[in-house]
Structure formats: structure tokens, C-alpha cells
């Protein structure tokens, strides 16, 4: 059974700092990995999706990397801002999951606080 772990559970940094959030998974047979952001009391917003054949994806100040063989992904946030404060979740899609129907396995998230 796939298990996804995110460490640390919470992280507090000063504004302007570069930071890395970690995600590890136990079964390397994945199709892709997706990073989400969740603001308090809100739904999940997709940030980046990395296919199993890719090493990284970038969007603005965000860069996500994937090392499938070691079961790890990182989300790098450059020049953090107070508006980046949120919970960040990663989720993996199983390898043998063609088509549109597939079940993601989620980590429990990292609560990020960026202090002004």
C-alpha cells in the first residue's frame, strides 16, 4: 500500500527566505506526483504536476523536483512571501492508472508560515 509522508508537519520562516518542502513515498511505481496548496478554510489548488518521466517542473517562484527511484519529491519556494502561508500537500498517482479514473494517495501536508 502506498504511503506518502511530508516532513516537517509545520515550518515557520522569515519573509524572503528560500525554502524546501519534502514529500516521500514508499512505492516508486507512480504515474505522476501533484503538489497542492490549501489556504485555511478553502479547497485544494493545484500548483504543479510532475510526470514520472520528468525530473522537475517550474511555475514562477515554485520549483518541484522528483526522484522516483528514491521515492522523493521536493517543492522549492524562492523568496518566500507572507502570501505563501498555507498548507502544502503532495499526492501520488499509481503507475498502472491509465485513463481518467485513478485514486491519489495524499500526504498530510506541511503547514507553512511566512513571517513579515
Query: Closest CB to other proteins among 31 and 76?
Result: 31
Instruction: Please name which of 94, 91, 62 lies closest in space to residue 78, comparing C-alpha atoms.
Output: 62
Binding region for other proteins (CB under 8 A) out of 13-21, 22-30, 74-82, 106-114:
106-114
DSSP 39: -
Q: Is 110 helix (H, G, I), strand (E, B) or coil?
A: strand
109 lines the binding site for other proteins (CB under 8 A): yes
110 lines the binding site for other proteins (CB under 8 A): no
40 lines the binding site for other proteins (CB under 8 A): no
The Cα-based distances of 54 to 3, 50, 57, 73 in angstroms read: 21, 6, 8, 11
Size of the site for other proteins (CB under 8 A): 25
Match 514520472 to its residue by C-alpha cell. Answer: 52
Residues that bind other proteins (CB under 8 A): 31-32, 34, 36, 41-46, 49, 51, 89, 91, 93, 99-104, 106-109
Amino acid at each position: 500500500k502506498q504511503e506518502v509522508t511530508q516532513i516537517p508537519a509545520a515550518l515557520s520562516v522569515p519573509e524572503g527566505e528560500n525554502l524546501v518542502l519534502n514529500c516521500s513515498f514508499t512505492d516508486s511505481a507512480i504515474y505522476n506526483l501533484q503538489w497542492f496548496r490549501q489556504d485555511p478554510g478553502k479547497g485544494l489548488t493545484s500548483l504543479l504536476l510532475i510526470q514520472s518521466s520528468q525530473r522537475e517542473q517550474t511555475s514562477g517562484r515554485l520549483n518541484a523536483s522528483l526522484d522516483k527511484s528514491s521515492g522523493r519529491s521536493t517543492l522549492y519556494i524562492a523568496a518566500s512571501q507572507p502570501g505563501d502561508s498555507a498548507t502544502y500537500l503532495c499526492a501520488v498517482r499509481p503507475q498502472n492508472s491509465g485513463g481518467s479514473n485513478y485514486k491519489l494517495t495524499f500526504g498530510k501536508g506541511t503547514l507553512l508560515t511566512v513571517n513579515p
